[in-house]
Homo-oligomer: A and B are copies of this chain.
Amino acid sequence: MKYSSFFGRTTKTLSNDMKLASHKLLHKAGFVRESTAGRYYFLPLGIKVRQKIMNIIRDEMNRAGAQEIITPVLHPIELWKETNRTESVSFELMRIKDRRGAEFALGGTAEEMLVDLVRKFQVSYKDLPFNLYQFSQKFRDEKRARGGLLRVREFMMKDAYSFHADEKDFKTEYKNMWDTYLRIYNKLGLDAVVVEADNGYIGGDYSHEFQAICPAGEDTLFYVKSKDKYYNKEIAPVQAPVLDNEGEEMLEREDVLGQGIIGVQELADFIKIPVEKTTKTLLFVVDKKRYIAAAVRGGYNINETKLKRITGVQTLELADADVIKKLTGAEVGYLGPLGLPDEVEVYYDESTSNRLNFECGANKTDYHSMNVNWGRDLKEPDKFYDFKEAKEGDLYPETGEKYEIYKSIEVGNIFQLGYYYSKKMKGAEFTDQEGKGNPYYMGCYGIGIDRTMATIVEKYHDDKGLIWPKQVAPFDVHLVTLGEDEKVMQESERVYKELQGKGFDVLWDEREGLGAGEKLGDADLIGIPVRLVVSSRSIDQGGVELKYRDKKDSEVLSMEKLLEVL
């Protein structure tokens, strides 16, 4: 391809909201352009990279025995109603009606569609298992869409759905996909690690994320070295660092005035105790009839996902001032576990244990109770839990070792779905050996293509631009002509033709009227792994100048030698 007829020039103009390297570089180098926030055009350079990523995934999925299909983008809303997901994911589900009033969801994830497709066939145990995948445009009505291709409202996804007779068979496929995903990321040049994760709105019991380690990542991983195991911050089981109470004695409990002081750090400063001695207590209402108080030690936040699991509830709602007043008699900000009415279930995080002379809200407007102690002032619970947000310095409970913390980007997931969909959707069954109908046991497996592309950029770039790994590079060779005299142009064309003849995909910068700095700068920015320069100097030296994008030095080689090296 000649650069002069190529669409999508490099630019130096960036907008202020471009913070991430992938966002900036893919824009500057002419790979993508934003249409509206979170919706992108892929330009010729971008589409070539995307297709290479997709083809690597397609090859590995086929090799793993999965079969490609495609579903319509518009999903009949009736299907989503069968599983009640119109409620559970409605915040990001986009809906549309056609001229006849039929309603559809814009595909965000396709479990219902796949079950609906499979139930159209009379599947028997002999037909199982199978794994069906598609590459399709997905839609998520995200509140915020910043960060280029990392958080978008419309994106290409590879989503796969497997169907099994039982859990045992599913587990074989889960392992198969696990291995396949690692192979895919490896081929893409990403060091992905597998991380236990929460199933979220997908349903099912367990799932794993594939996280690419990357300093610019938006996710935080907690790593247990002795077990070589990663947890997502969201679900990492953590133990707070143990406090040193050595030599400390129980002091007399007293209520102190702390009007208007609400944050734990301010409070600790005000009453001159370490923040670890303060206690944060929140009150939640469940279904307007059940009250749950949850206490963590100062310096931690409550992780609602964990708390939901522990309490077994679907949605926790923070109690409002009226409810707090009714139950404790005090205004908001002075809640504590002391003397709460029986109708409030109290849960304690393990970080609140092993403390002496700690603080908690006095359940009395403007007052805090000081020198509270387990046993004496507060009945020690049968069980302490872990429902705090994990943070740096926390320990892995099983071994007591400190977690290592890594930043990362989520590039894929695999989910156990079990019977979550097949038991909700009518007729979602296969005939077993006895001719009886049974629901399928299912799993699903996703890779976001566009964020995978952005992640590759986050990992492979420098201050000059992109550095594409060979296997996903938009072109094999970036041929730059420096100088416009006939000899140089002729020699360039000869090199261009010869490389094309040998099957190389070449971008030839034959633009006239541009300086060497500009052309070489563009080559660095675009990041094709091999750069060749033809100039009068290279001709004088009897060849073509070769430079790899990820190396410093260049050398002039004869054409034969060059072909050998490439």
Contacts and interface: CB of A to CB of B under 8 A. Distances in A.
A7 B154 contact: no
A143 interface: yes
Given A33-B120, A117-B33, A117-B41, A68 B47 contact: yes
A44 to B, nearest CB: 4
A40 B70 CA distance: 8
Nearest to A78: B36
A141 B73 contact: no
Contacts of A141: 98-99
A29 to B, nearest CB: 13
B94 A70 contact: no
Contact of A121 (B9, B71, B75, B91): B9
B154 A102 contact: no
A43 interface: yes
A518 to B, nearest CB: 14
Contact of A98 (B40, B73, B94, B118): B94
Contact of A35 (B43, B71, B106, B126): B71
Contact of A65 (B5, B39, B75, B153): B5
Interface string A30-61: 00010110011111101110100000000000
A139 interface: yes
A49 to B, nearest CB: 12
A255 B130 CA distance: 78
A504 interface: no
Contact of A70 (B47, B95, B118, B121): B47
B44 A67 contact: yes
B7 A72 contact: no
Contact of A72 (B11, B40, B50): B40
A174 to B, nearest CB: 17
Contact of A73 (B7, B76, B137): B137
Nearest to A47: B68
A313 interface: no
A316 interface: no
Contact of A43 (B43, B69, B102): B69
Contact of A96 (B65, B72, B96): B96
Contact of A67 (B7, B33, B67, B113): B7
A8 interface: yes
B69 A116 contact: no
A143 B99 CA distance: 8
Contact of A42 (B70, B95, B102): B70
Interface in A1-31: 1, 4-9, 11
Interface string A449-489: 00000000000000000000000000000000000000000
A195 to B, nearest CB: 29
A74 interface: yes
A530 interface: no
A121 B143 CA distance: 28
Contact of A39 (B39, B72, B99): B72
Contacts of A70: 41-42, 47, 50
A372 to B, nearest CB: 45
B94 A35 contact: no
A132 interface: yes
Contact of A126 (B4, B44, B95, B113): B4
A44 B69 contact: yes
Contacts of A11: 121
Contacts of A48: 68
Contacts of A65: 5
Nearest to A44: B67
Given A33-B117, A33-B120, A69-B44, A39 B4 contact: no
Interface in A83-133: 91, 94-96, 98-99, 102, 106, 113, 116-118, 120-121, 126-127, 130, 132
| Residue among A4, A5, A50, A65 with max Cβ neighbours from chain B (10 Å) | A5
A139 B74 contact: yes
Contacts of A121: 8-9, 11
Nearest to A1: B67
A319 B40 CA distance: 48
30 contacts: A4-B127, A5-B65, A5-B130, A6-B130, A7-B69, A7-B127, A7-B130, A8-B121, A9-B127, A33-B117, A35-B71, A35-B76, A36-B102, A41-B69, A41-B113, A42-B69, A42-B70, A43-B69, A44-B67, A44-B69, A46-B69, A47-B69, A50-B70, A73-B73, A73-B137, A73-B139, A73-B154, A91-B99, A98-B153, A99-B141
Given A5-B130, A35-B113, 16 more contacts: A5-B65, A7-B69, A7-B118, A33-B120, A35-B71, A35-B75, A35-B116, A40-B72, A41-B72, A41-B113, A47-B68, A72-B154, A73-B73, A73-B154, A98-B153, A99-B141
Interface of A: 1, 4-9, 11, 33, 35-36, 39-44, 46-48, 50, 65, 67-76, 91, 94-96, 98-99, 102, 106, 113, 116-118, 120-121, 126-127, 130, 132, 137, 139, 141, 143, 153-154
Closest 7 CB pairs of A and B: A39-B72, A44-B67, A96-B96, A42-B70, A7-B130, A99-B141, A35-B72
